[in-house]
Amino acid sequence: MKTFRISVAQTIDVTLDESKFDDAFMSEFRRGFFPFHDLQEHAEHIAQLHARGVIEADSVSGDFIEGYGPSKDMGIKAVVRATDIEFEAEVA
């Protein structure tokens, strides 16, 4: 058997309806999930969930996202713009 170490990086555009992320939502999200205090932290979280295939947050899926609800209801959209794949090494 051979093992290869491959690096995969994705560039993802995340759109959020900022009006949905009001003080009440942010406070409740911090109590139950992660200590996020701004939209950028939410965008980063959603991007990594989308990149790992945990969620589909494109414009048609409307997936339920833990902590957010249906993506369409929260104005959440994530689109992969680029994927870069790089061979790093053959591992013994």
What is the mean pLDDT, run by run of 10 residues, along the chain of 92 residues? Answer: 96 97 98 98 97 85 89 94 96 85
pLDDT of residue 63: 87
Q: How many CB atoms lie within 10 A of CB 6?
A: 9
Q: Which pLDDT tens digit goes with each residue over 62-82?
A: 789 999 999 999 999 999 999
Q: Where are the alpha helices (DSSP H) in 1-92?
A: 23-32, 39-51, 71-74
Q: Which residue type is seen at 82?
A: A
pLDDT of residue 59: 66
Q: How far apart are CA 47 and CA 45, in angstroms?
A: 5
38 burial type by CB count under 10 A (0-12 exposed, 13-18 middle, 19+ buried): exposed
pLDDT of residue 10: 97
pLDDT of residue 49: 95
pLDDT of residue 57: 86
